[in-house]
Amino acid sequence: MSKIGFLGPSGTFTEQAAHDYSPTSTLQSFPSIYSVASAVSSGIVEFGVVPIENSLEGSVTFTLDVLISHEKIFIYQELVVGIEHCMMVKPGTQCDNVQVIYSHPQALAQCREFLERSFPDARLEASLSTAAAALDMINSGYGAASIGSAWCADLNKVEILERSIQDNSANMTRFVVLAPTDHKPTGDDKTSLCFSFEDDKPGLLYKAMGEFAKRGINLAKVESRPTKRSLGSYIFLIDLHGHREDPGVKEALNIIRSETSMIRIFGSYPRWIG
């Protein structure tokens, strides 16, 4: 039976994603994305599940930074989970009794319209996570509620007042499964990588992108992160359709490798289709 680490605490959407990925595996919570990656590279767990992108908030920069710096981990799989926020309360609490609502700041922001419409007088309190918000609510001396997942409500044995309270029904989070190696080719894959240039010259990025375009390779995502070495120096991150062992992808990567000062393949893995 596999052991899977996830970004905790227990009751978060990441734990839900880890359970969805492998329902029979043993799950272990870790306090940070870096600690999940370290647990994978050291063999404490076989796989690690962390968020990498949200449809509303964009990329999870902590995960990108760990992938850039941690050379002993790779993306083995990707999965997407719909984010359904629920309003939960201690058993027996009525709507009229709710004076304070706890949740992570992003969850509170994603449910703003519902909160203004249904609980205009309630005080909003930030928690470290949606899972921590449930505990804050349980331990509160006020008439309290919290916002989190149905998974979290079930774990904490609390009642759900209302489901799907998020303002945008298209709220989804993409998670990646980290492992010591990436996935073998399946015929429908994605490759994630990053690279940077030593010099800042016109056309460098354009030329690199052109190597993929010449071979008909679709770029699903392109973004940049600071190198943290100097102002104006960037690392470029790319998701492309295809496996690193596919002839066209392999050829393009070899050419780009000779023209960059650094290149790191985060991994090739089956492309999620939903």
Same domain, 136 and 202: no
Rg, the chain, Cα only = 21
The answer to whether residue 17 sits within a structural domain is: yes
Alpha helices in the chain (DSSP H): 13-21, 33-41, 61-69, 105-110, 112-118, 130-139, 150-156, 204-214, 247-259
Question: Given this model, what pLDDT does residue 259 score?
Answer: 87
Domain that holds residue 247: 189-270
pLDDT tens by residue, 1-29: 689 999 888 888 899 999 999 999 999 99
The count of structural domains within the chain is 3
Same domain, 51 and 154: no
Q: Is the pLDDT of residue 274 over 80?
A: no
The answer to whether residue 77 sits within a structural domain is: yes
Same domain, 262 and 247: yes
Same domain, 193 and 264: yes
Q: What is the mean pLDDT of residues 88-111?
A: 92
- Cis ω on the peptide bond leading into residue 247 (within 30° of 0)? no
Closest CA to 73 of 104, 108, 49, 102: 49
Q: Is the pLDDT of residue 55 over 90?
A: no
Q: Which range, of 76-90, 96-110, 155-169, 221-235, averages the lowest pLDDT?
A: 221-235
Same domain, 91 and 135: yes
Q: Is the pLDDT of residue 87 over 80?
A: yes
Question: Given this model, what pLDDT does residue 8 score?
Answer: 83
Question: Given this model, what pLDDT does residue 1 score?
Answer: 65
Question: Given this model, what pLDDT does residue 67 score?
Answer: 95
Q: Is the pLDDT of residue 229 over 90?
A: no
Question: Given this model, what pLDDT does residue 176 score?
Answer: 98
Angle at 116 between CA 114 and CA 122, to 5 degrees: 110
The answer to whether residue 184 sits within a structural domain is: no
pTM over 0.85: yes
Which two tokens mark 228? 């943290």
The answer to whether residue 206 sits within a structural domain is: yes
The answer to whether residue 117 sits within a structural domain is: yes
Question: Given this model, what pLDDT does residue 228 score?
Answer: 79
Q: What is the mean pLDDT of residues 24-40?
A: 95
Contact 212, 233 (CB under 8 A): no
Q: What is the mean pLDDT of residues 113-138?
A: 93
Same domain, 10 and 134: no
Alpha helices in 93-199 (DSSP H): 105-110, 112-118, 130-139, 150-156
Question: Given this model, what pLDDT does residue 106 score?
Answer: 86
The answer to whether residue 158 sits within a structural domain is: yes
Q: Is the pLDDT of residue 185 over 70?
A: yes
Same domain, 46 and 113: no
Q: What is the mean pLDDT of residues 35-42?
A: 96
Mean of the per-residue pLDDT values for the chain?
92
Same domain, 76 and 97: no
Same domain, 175 and 42: yes
CATH for 232: 3.30.70.260
The answer to whether residue 226 sits within a structural domain is: yes
The answer to whether residue 264 sits within a structural domain is: yes
Same domain, 57 and 27: yes
Same domain, 207 and 149: no
Same domain, 96 and 111: yes
Q: Is the pLDDT of residue 237 over 80?
A: yes
CATH for 20: 3.40.190.10
